[in-house]
Structure 1
Amino acid sequence: MTATTPATARPPLAVPPLRTLHIATWGCQMNAYDSLRMADILRPLGYREVPTDDADMVIFNTCHIRERAAEKLFSALGRLRAVKDARNGRMMIAVAGCVAQAEGAEILRRAPYVDLVVGSQAYHKLPELIAAVEAKHAAVIDTDFPADQKFDFLPEAQSSQGPIANLAIQEGCDKFCTFCVVPYTRGAEASRPVSAIIAEAKRLIEGGAREIALLGQNVNAWHGEGLDGTIWPLARLLETLAELPDLARLRYTTSHPRDMSDDLIEAHRTNAKLMPFLHLPVQSGSDAILTAMNRRHSADHFRRIIEKLRNARPDIAFSSDFIIGFPGETDADFKATMKLVKEVEFALAYSFTYSRRPGTPAADARDQVDPALAHARLLELQETLRNQQHAFNRAQIGKRFDVLFTGPGRHQGQIAGRSPYLQPVVVEHANLAPGSIHAVTITAANPNSLMATLNQEQIAA
């Protein structure tokens, strides 16, 4: 839907020749990537990024996964309204992303001082939408799902992300899990062609990237047009990207268990640049709950995938997502989840109580779990997951592996980086360049980070 609201008493949006911009980003890595691309789109128009209160234009790039996402937005909008009023309305406020896609009309109803609502599939049209707001002195909303991919219309990526960069290769989801809004806010699964992905990867590498994470709502469902005109699977794309000489590391996220094909599992054995860490959401260990979620895989199917991956890459570690208190979850269902967690042993995990999302099938389920019971179960699960994460970190003490350094640590004389398992690693050494990769020995483990020393051969070099 593209529309304008009536032009009611909106002052002109007088904009200086050099425009200023602030993008506030909430949510997943895909949202962070989208925010960078919005900045790329607006940079040729003279926009430069500044703090919120100094900006001529503020964009809230939103996430709709959690229950309070919309309320978080309206709270932030309320604070910004005072700034806009103090400037006699001479500020443009835009809402983008998944909340915009799902609740565009409601945003303008509750916050009529918002100038622009742009859905997750329409932000490539920002210049023309901004021009429409300025010309009509009226709010504009665009939450269409166009037939063509937005990636086909985006300019070349310009924003440097540093040594670790994200690259979106897939968007949308066709799985329709009963708790999830992604199919409604991001649309059907769409895959970018290999040529576009390689071109963007090369630009990221030229900008200093040594590690690239391939992004998608369901990234391992990617099947894009290959360089030979045939449809390639993700494993072949990873193999091709690994041939880029200045790229040291590859990752991909987020995956669905149903799309962990045998060739992709084998890539973890054969592709040396593919890091030994995989985020693979399971959501529950109960087959009854997995069925109610429409996950279309069983707990044992997930276990078999884990076993295959460990056979292919014995040093691989896993993270996952869990939803506790899904409608109908019994004590037995929860115990099944705890059983799976203890069997698999995760290096990292994200867990939440079930959150009703309007428009999803599970939101109308009659057998909602008592919030207090769901919270108690969540605390039990999180204690186990936290202990597993701490145990995994402690198990790294004494190990030697390469760390990609990204910048200064928290304290003077330190430099920080990322392990192959995505853990922050800190070394007392001020002279290492960001983007460099050095072998270290882990000396201590904190709950969320590791301490290390450079190996002697690295110091000598």
Structure 2
Amino acid sequence: MARYHIETYGCTSNRGESRDIERRLRDAGHHKVETAADADVAILNTCTVVEKTERNMLRRAKELADETADLIVTGCMALAQGEAFADADVDAQVLHWDDVPEAVTNGECPTTTPDAEPILDGVVGILPIARGCMSNCSYCITKQATGRVDSPPVEENVEKARALVHAGAKEIRITGQDTGVYGWDTGERKLPELLERIATEIEGEFRVRVGMANPGGVHGIREELAAVFAEHDEIYNFLHAPVQSGSDDVLADMRRQHEVSQYRDIVETFNDTLGEWTLSTDFIVGFPTEDDDDHEASMDLLRETRPEKINVTRFSKRPGTDAAELKGLGGQTKKDRSKAMTELKMDVVGEAHESMVGTRRDVLVVEEGTGDSVKCYDGAYRQVIVQNATDHGLEPGDFATVEVTSHQTVYAFAEPVDAAAVDDGPAETTAD
């Protein structure tokens, strides 16, 4: 679990984004500190209203980069002029607001709330299905806080999901340290059964997103899991399976409990079963035993499997972990590898969103965005932004058909399609 320091500049909307970032970090077990010098990671939420502001943002970014191990820059200037930070030789990850919380994790599992109870946040219902995990990763401090997996019965989680839907949830986010090993403590692999029952037994119109599931747990249920996804429109065609490295040697040193071939098996199965889906994964760059060939293996794996959501994290030592005892790589090495992978990531992600332009998609409006916009998700859990939401009469909880008009690398922009156009127009291109 990381210590974070966050600074926010600009308008009320930016402050709202920072509150959301902090909520998600807090819920994942991370801790806020008051100064960047005391933090594992600093977050700078930027403004870009005038040239003087931009100069101030660059100056502050340089200061923070000198004070902390890792710096994440987000916000308006990061999105509109992200290259300015690299041009100014600021050592930072430049990310969209939504990608900040996962980038803070250092590859660790998320930590659910102590009582693991459901939470309704707007139209999003957060359902922790279990606590703990079955892994023993050498770099992860979360395991020390959560222990082995403890899985409540399927029926109990179905009832919690039903209560969230009845309370107004339109999207249920299934969470846990590792959702793929749900039920392993009872001798069964229960995630597909849980998803099947939520999709078939709960009345109402809603969507389900499965949270992080490590490849070691998913591999044994990959065919059953992909089949459940394919059968039920209620379940987003989205899988977050963090591979962390493309090198089996490094994975062994990380004690990740999977091999690269198993990750490839998962991707192949989902490719064969689903017409369109989103693969999300994580890479740790600069693990102490990672050499140049290992790094290139990770780059090759990214090119080969082409995940559409990618979290790139530089290795950072966590106290009390076995990896903290290893001799670390130089800071410049980690920076160079992180930069190379991030550039490749943006190419891969941008290509995926470019392919969406001109297609029609059924989306769920999940939350308000910046200004008069709303954030929506299509059937493959790709983020779609609709601007001038008030004019279109869209608000969180609505379902709509939209046509994608453009993209900004990590998300798409779309316009609603009226009912007559949907009835009379060409067939939609949507997630299966």
TM-score over 0.5 for the alignment?
yes
Contact persistence 2:111–2:177 (CA under 8 A): no
State the partner residue of 2:241: 280
**Distance change in 2, residues 1:360/1:221 (3 Å):** same
State the SS of the aligned residue for 1:177: coil
The Cα shift of 1:311 comes to: 0.6
Aligned partner of 1:239: which letter?
E
Among residues 390, 395, 412, which one is paired with 1:450 in the alignment? 412
State the partner residue of 2:171: 211
1:81-102 deviation digits (Å, cap 9, x = unpaired)? xxxxxxxxxxxxxxxxxxxxxx
Contact persistence 1:405–1:416 (CA under 8 A): yes
Contact persistence 1:28–1:63 (CA under 8 A): no
Among residues 344, 347, 362, which one is paired with 1:402 in the alignment? 362
State the SS of the aligned residue for 2:272: helix
* Residue 187, structure 1, aligned to residue 147, structure 2: yes
1:170-215 deviation digits (Å, cap 9, x = unpaired)? 1112210111112101221111222331222122212221111100
Aligned-partner Cα distance in 1 for 2:226–2:258: 17
Aligned-partner Cα distance in 2 for 1:121–1:283: 18
* Residue 365, structure 1, aligned to residue 338, structure 2: no
Contact persistence 2:281–2:307 (CA under 8 A): yes
State the SS of the aligned residue for 1:242: helix
- Alignment size in residue pairs: 331
Among residues 259, 265, 268, which one is paired with 2:226 in the alignment? 265
The Cα shift of 1:342 comes to: 0.4
Contact persistence 1:324–1:352 (CA under 8 A): yes
**Distance change in 2, residues 1:393/1:28 (3 Å):** farther
**Distance change in 2, residues 1:63/1:285 (3 Å):** farther
* Residue 234, structure 1, aligned to residue 191, structure 2: yes
The Cα shift of 1:295 comes to: 1.2
**Distance change in 2, residues 1:355/1:308 (3 Å):** same
**Distance change in 2, residues 1:387/1:237 (3 Å):** same
State the partner residue of 2:265: 304
Aligned-partner Cα distance in 1 for 2:359–2:159: 36
* Residue 434, structure 1, aligned to residue 391, structure 2: no
List aligned pairs for 1:315-394, cutoff 5 A: 315-366=276-327, 368-394=328-354
Aligned-partner Cα distance in 2 for 1:301–1:371: 31
**Distance change in 2, residues 1:358/1:446 (3 Å):** same
Unaligned runs of 5+ in 1: 1-23, 35-60, 76-119, 125-149
Aligned-partner Cα distance in 2 for 1:238–1:340: 29
Contact persistence 2:127–2:161 (CA under 8 A): yes
List aligned pairs for 1:46-195, cutoff 5 A: 62-63=30-31, 71-72=38-39, 150-151=115-116, 160-195=120-155
**Distance change in 2, residues 1:224/1:293 (3 Å):** closer
State the SS of the aligned residue for 2:282: strand
**Distance change in 2, residues 1:166/1:31 (3 Å):** farther
The Cα shift of 1:317 comes to: 1.7
Question: Which deviates the most, 254-263 or 448-457?
Answer: 448-457
Contact persistence 2:131–2:151 (CA under 8 A): yes
State the partner residue of 2:11: none
The Cα shift of 1:387 comes to: 1.2
State the partner residue of 1:251: 209
Aligned partner of 1:245: which letter?
E
State the SS of the aligned residue for 1:171: coil
State the partner residue of 1:418: 377
Aligned-partner Cα distance in 2 for 1:382–1:177: 24
Question: Which deviates the most, 217-226 or 175-184?
Answer: 217-226
Aligned-partner Cα distance in 1 for 2:348–2:249: 26
**Distance change in 2, residues 1:415/1:251 (3 Å):** closer
State the partner residue of 2:180: 220
The Cα shift of 1:416 comes to: 3.5
Contact persistence 1:209–1:247 (CA under 8 A): no
State the SS of the aligned residue for 2:252: helix
Aligned partner of 1:439: which letter?
T
Identity of paired residues, percent?
26
Aligned partner of 1:419: which letter?
D
Contact persistence 1:318–1:346 (CA under 8 A): yes
1:122-154 deviation digits (Å, cap 9, x = unpaired)? 976xxxxxxxxxxxxxxxxxxxxxxxxx45xx6
Aligned partner of 2:217: which letter?
D
Query: RMSD between aligned alpha carbons?
Result: 3.3
Contact persistence 1:323–1:351 (CA under 8 A): yes
Aligned-partner Cα distance in 2 for 1:74–1:313: 37
Aligned partner of 1:234: which letter?
L
Contact persistence 1:286–1:336 (CA under 8 A): yes
Unaligned runs of 5+ in 2: 1-18, 43-109, 424-432
Aligned partner of 2:132: which letter?
G
Contact persistence 2:389–2:395 (CA under 8 A): no
